[in-house]
Amino acid sequence: QNVAVILPAAGSGRRFGQDENKLFARLAGHPIWLVAAERLRAHRRVARIVMPISDQDRPRFEGEFGSQVDTLGIELACGGAERTDSVRAGVERVADDTAVQLIAIHDAARPLVRNADLDAVFAKADQTGAAILATPVTATVKQSLDAGASCRTVDRSTLWLAQTPQVFALDVLQRAYAKHRGRPATDDAELVGRIGVQVALVPGSPDNLKITHPNDLIVAEAILKTQHESNHA
Ligand code: CTP
Ligand code: MG
């Protein structure tokens, strides 16, 4: 057990459009964040789970969900305004843990990650120091430089969609965050790339979708059923 997980949960779920954080919405009766946390906790290599949350949500995580947080051994941390601020709080929490070899950052909004995909991305990060799950782009992608008046097709054979977990040697991620000075980044692999470290892509599964809009939850319910039937989770 030498993987520390950071499970950022400190967003507000603006695009999901409810009054509360989307992570409290139910997937087969359980809050999205809890389904995600249980999957990570079930992996044999996971030693710690640090979950950055917002000040606003803290009373619910400590009250309504306090027993689940305790049972899973989740350490709550203070998230920030941007996702990178939340991840940074998690990195600081595990920074001096000498038992940690890898840090895996996983969106609490991705509840359906498969155990076999965790195996694969952890193994790749053992070898390379930086690896992320991703899926090949299947759509035909158009680029337009004139607001849609004309377009060209982008060669999709080189394109991948980044997922999480994004997994790094502890020192790699610490160096990336030490250098990060606020220039926006949409994922942690981008920050790691900026310090000159190559990030390997590990083919994952479309099951590992991120819940962004309410429709994603409908799709996730269907995927969860197929995972139960094939016992592939
Ligand atoms: N997150 C976080 N801290 C932030 C912003 C996001 O920990 N300041 C977390 C979210 O809680 C989520 C993950 O990062 O688990 C991915 O972010 P996203 O899907 O964009 O969630 P939200 O930011 O909550 O949603 P939206 O962008 O629609 O507001
Ligand atoms: Mg967001």
Kindly report, residue by residue over 206-225, the tens digit of the pLDDT: 999 999 999 999 999 999 99
Burial (Cβ within 10 Å: 0-12, 13-18, ≥19) of residue 77: buried
pLDDT tens, 100-159? Answer: 999 999 999 999 999 999 999 999 999 999 999 999 999 999 999 999 999 999 999 999
Q: How far is the CA of 128 from the centre of ligand 2 (A)?
A: 28
User: Does the pLDDT of residue 229 top 70, yes or no?
Assistant: yes
Amino acid at 165: P
CA distances from 127 to 1, 38, 40, 101 (A): 17, 26, 21, 12
- Given pLDDT bands bounded at 50, 70 and 90, which one contains residue 204? very high
Q: Which pLDDT does position 37 carry in this prediction?
A: 98
pLDDT in tens, 42-99: 999 999 999 999 999 999 999 999 999 999 999 999 999 999 999 999 999 999 999 9
The DSSP symbol for 198 reads -
Please give the Cα distance from 167 to 177 (Å, whole number).
Answer: 14
Q: Whose CA is nearest to atom 25 of ligand 1?
A: 13
Taken in order 134, 82, 37, 124, is the CA torsion positive or negative? positive
User: How many independent structural domains does the chain possess?
Assistant: 1
CATH number of the domain that residue 20 is part of = 3.90.550.10
- Per-chain mean pLDDT for the chain: 96
Q: Which ligand 1 atom is the nearest neighbour of the CA of 22? A: 24
Ligand 1 geometric centre to CA of 203 (Å): 23
Q: CA dist 80 to 7, 88, 220, Å?
A: 13, 9, 27
Cβ-based neighbour number of residue 120 at 10 Å: 16
The tens digit of pLDDT for each residue in 152-185 reads 999 999 999 999 999 999 999 999 999 998 788 9
Q: Is residue 211 a contact partner of residue 32, using CB atoms and an 8 Å limit?
A: yes
Ligand 2: distance of its center to the CA of 13 in Å?
A: 7
Which amino acid type is present at position 55?
D
Enumerate residues lining ligand 1, CB below 6 A: 8-16, 23, 52, 79-83, 86, 107-109, 210, 212
**CA 78 to chain centroid:** 17
How are the residues of the chain apportioned to helix, strand and coil, as percentages rounded to the nearest 5? 40, 20, 40
Domain that holds residue 116: 3-230
ipTM of the assembly?
A: 0.99
CA pair distance 75, 73, nearest whole angstrom = 6
What pLDDT does residue 1 have? 84
Centre of ligand 1 to C-alpha 164, Å, is 13
Q: Cα(229) to centroid of ligand 1, in Å?
A: 30
Ligand 1 atom nearest 7 alpha carbon: 15
User: Which residue's CA is the nearest one to ligand 1's atom 6?
Assistant: 11
